[in-house]
Amino acid sequence: MDISIRVAGEAGQGVQSAGNLLVGALASAGFHVFTAKSYMSRIRGGLNWFDIRISNRELFAPKEKADLLVALTREAFEILGRETSDGLILLDSHEAQGAYAIPFTQTAKEIGNAIMANSVAAGAVLAVLGLDNKHLMEYLRKQFHDKPAEVVEQNIAAAGAGEKLAQSCAGRLPAAPEGAWDSVYAGADAIGLGAATAGVKFVTAYPMTPSTATLNFLAESADRYGILVEQAEDEIAAINMVCGSTYAGAPSLTVTSGGGFALMVEGISLAGMLELPVVILLAQRPGPATGLPTRTAQGDLNMAIHAGHGEFPKMVFAPGTHQECYAITRHAVMMAHKYQTPVIILTDQFLQDAEKNIRPLSEELKPVDCFLSAGGREYARYALSPDGISPRAVPGGEALVVVDSDEHDQCGHISEDLAHDHLPQHDKRMRKMIGLTAESFAPSILGPPGAPNLMICWGSSYGPCREAVEMLNADDNIWTLLHFSQVWPLNEDAARQAIGERSRVIVVEGNSTAQFASLLRQLGLVGPCEACLRYDGLPLTADYVVDKVSKPGNSGAA
């Protein structure tokens, strides 16, 4: 069983709320769920939709087309009805060929308020699926527990009315599997929880979609985890505040997207020179400039790797799953402190907003090691060392902690002595790359390791590619999947061994210039290869990848 539901309408109609109700009810009923959201950059109007995929097996990506469309407007029906795969369409009030007319809004008005049309729609969807609405009723009570009793009862009545209205097209789903998880996380929340439990104490950002969801999560969690959250006036201020707070000893994080990250680049270079453990979440969206603020892309890989003038070490991670969003964020905070260098976490709108039920993530505060030194009277902040890592103390102790954005000597004082200070300090900083590379993640392998064909992906493309390889291997095990959750520096030895000799290599990514494929070629890890690229602002899906891979000429050269 594998069904994709799409709730679509205007901004302000409750599309998001209807989706949340269905996700909560279906996860509580024991089904595996995976969501994706597409919304316009406006407060009212436009065309938004919320995809909810449900199954009795674990899911990793959305589907390309919906099996059930709930259209709250005529426009949603006319535009998205064509993309519904021979399924069922429920249309609010309007009669139309190929759709069941159900008066969501009118029914909600009769019960008390048109805003409850989303509850009517949720009840109708559960009826179509043939599910008992008890889980929806329980979720409504939970969702509105802080509202007046009248509001709760009206929404319950609205859901019940929706169920009755859709009885004529009711079906029946197979029983939910045993042991499915009802803990639903968005990628943005998993990243925020990872940062909070890692001991991050200061978060600052200028709100920028799609990173704002993580900022919101951390603001809501601030009291519980003892985090100071500050909305900066711009991204330049944010990155410099993070530099200041890490100098003072507070594990810190800033979050942004492409345009904001561009403003941060000089500050990232400052962190490289001062050797500060700055962590930056870069949630990608299509550019350039403002681009498409609410859509998805993987177009900022090159910018992340090369951010900052001059040469200095950094790490760039790209989680592919919700579990990795949590674990890699914790790891990123630790690695930033161990190597005293900027660390960037690359996500995108798709992974930030996608919701999935997984095993509960630990909410226990377990601060990572910050590798601090007590210092002393003879302390030198930039003392030379074989591994490039100098003892790091913070102000307030016995040690005098001097840092400077100019080149400096071992004590942190400005120096233009090229032979005795600049070259030794430059080489010291760059020696960290040896350790960073040694601790780099090896790519994960899925499918038969020695298959003749190899699919390579990174970051959020893991889920769609995993499902695509499973589809392609349904008859013959001819594909291996190689996924990179760390994109700089690469574990070249592990990557080279995993890639091996293949008949066909294709790199899948969400940009138009095959940026990761270019990096692999630059490092000599692959030769001529193909690229499956998507850059229309929508997320990759298994259907999209399979179509590009299996039909001659659909994939291009990387």
- Name the pLDDT band for 317 (thresholds 50, 70, 90): very high
- Helices 104-111 and 149-165, packing angle to 10 deg: 140
Out of 175-179, 219-223, 337-341, pick the least confident: 175-179
Provide mean pLDDT across the span 442-470.
Answer: 97
H/E element, 468: helix 462-472
Provide mean pLDDT across the span 6-33.
Answer: 91
Residue 372 CB neighbour total at 10 angstroms: 13
Report pLDDT for 59.
96
Here the tokens at position 327 are 């674990």
Q: Where are the domains of the chain?
A: 2-169, 184-358, 372-439, 444-557
Helix (H, G, I), strand (E, B) or coil at 184: strand
Domains 184-358 and 444-557 share a fold: yes
Residue-wise pLDDT for 52-62, tens only, equals 999 999 999 99
Question: How far is residue 136's CA from residue 122's CA, in Å, rounded to a whole number?
Answer: 8
Who has greater pLDDT, 128 or 387? 387
Report pLDDT for 178.
61
Question: How far is residue 513's CA from residue 302's CA, in Å, rounded to a whole number?
Answer: 10
Kindly report the average pLDDT of the chain as a whole number: 94
Percent of the chain with pLDDT over 70: 96
- 506-to-65, 366, 445, 517 alpha-carbon distances in Å: 24, 40, 15, 9
Provide mean pLDDT across the span 528-538.
Answer: 96
Pick from 336, 277, 272, 334: nearest CA to 307: 272
pLDDT at residue 544 greater than cutoff 90:
yes
Please, are residues 84 and 6 in contact by the beta-carbon 8 Å criterion? Answer: yes
CA angle 477/535/319 to nearest 5° reads 60
Question: How far is residue 210's CA from residue 298's CA, in Å, rounded to a whole number?
Answer: 13
Residue-wise pLDDT for 274-308, tens only, equals 999 999 999 999 999 999 999 999 999 999 999 99
- Name the pLDDT band for 177 (thresholds 50, 70, 90): low
- Confirm or reject CATH 3.40.920.10 for domain 2-169, answering yes or no: yes
Report pLDDT for 176.
62
Provide mean pLDDT across the span 467-483.
Answer: 96
CATH class held by domain 184-358: alpha beta
Topology classification of domain 444-557: Rossmann fold (3.40.50)
